[in-house]
Amino acid sequence: MSDDEPDLELLALLRQHLRGKLTISDEPETGVLEGAEYVYDNSIDVALDMRSCKNAAAAIYAQMQQKEYSPAKWSTHELHPLAKSESTVAFIFTMDLLNFSFWSAKPEAERFAIMYCGKRWTGYWSLVAALQRALDEGIPITDSHFWQNEEECTLEVLKQVFRSCTDEEMPLLEERLACLREAGTVLYEKYECSPVKLIAAANGSAAHLVNIMARDFRCFRDEHRFEGRRKPIRFLKRAQIFVADIWACFEGKSYGAFRDIDKITMFADYRVPQILNTMGCLAYSPPLDTAIKLKKDFPAGGKWEMQLRACSIWCVELIRREIKRNHPDAEINAILIDFFLYDTIKEIEKVGEESAPHHRTRSIWY
């Protein structure tokens, strides 16, 4: 079609709209899935194997059924809070505010770890254990008033909160303090120092809550430019996982009641791409595959890193669609699939059966 020729399809849509026959939804969208599909369509280093995705969908659904996987699974972990209260909302907000970058280049015995309740915790669980330990010790680590107090909430106090049972410190402590400071200020200025008020501002929409968080909190604005695209690619991992954790903790009720929870995608990190690759769903170009196996550092927002994250989001979406196609009545969404895949790769790691390492990016985004 030349520049002088009209786009007949577009004209037809415009006519429908002007005649009132085309409904434009006012419901918010995060744009995460749209951006992921764009990167997938333009990816040259990460590809999806459709047969493996279909096989993975069948295996994942069968195992989730066997394990009775549901939002209620979230509260069964001994470190997650049990109370269905405002204090739990504050705990989850703090947890997901700081939910990033736990990987270590050191051997398992030497990596950052938290001793709590007689057990040694690493990775994400080291964060949860450290927060619970701090509350036990009288440190108000989940209180946004505390975050704003520069005399009380200092880097030294944070080092005490996240003190390790090894010689390795928790990564990015200064960045974590900056996240607490910023979040404390935004909550004070806009939400009466209350994460509950933040949730209420979304009026029951998961997508709107994600968008509000990305708009108001710079530390949740996980979006990056890709291949000259005018709009940034949005990942919004920690904003989305906050919504998901609230939904799962409250089992879709009270603070966790969202009418559009299925708009939340998987949470683009480094663990889920790892297991999707292990299952044969994600395939890598030789240079990318070699870089991952050599444990090279990938810059946040780099071409390889964005392809890994975006293609993982799109892969989980295709797995979700395949499950729903074969089991229309299944109560399943990308959140539950992500939770299941994360738990599975951690179990594989625990028994030392990882077939390949995860990619390494040191950032506040995941």
Which residues are known catalytic residues? 269
Question: Distance between CA 166 and CA 168 in Å, rounded?
Answer: 5
Cα torsion angle, 307, 98, 338, 90, sign: negative
Please state the length of the chain: 366
First to last CA, the chain: 43
Spell 251-266 as b/e; 16+ CB within 10 A means b.
eeeebbebebbebbbb
User: What is the biggest distance separating any 2 CA atoms in the chain, rounded to whole angstroms?
Assistant: 74
Question: Distance between CA 246 and CA 89 in Å, rounded?
Answer: 7
Structure tokens at 16: 């429908």
Question: Distance between CA 284 and CA 192 in Å, rounded?
Answer: 47
Sequence-separated contacts (24+) of 327-330 with Cβ below 8 Å: 327/61, 330/61
**Contact indicator for 51, 320 with CB cutoff of 8 Å:** no
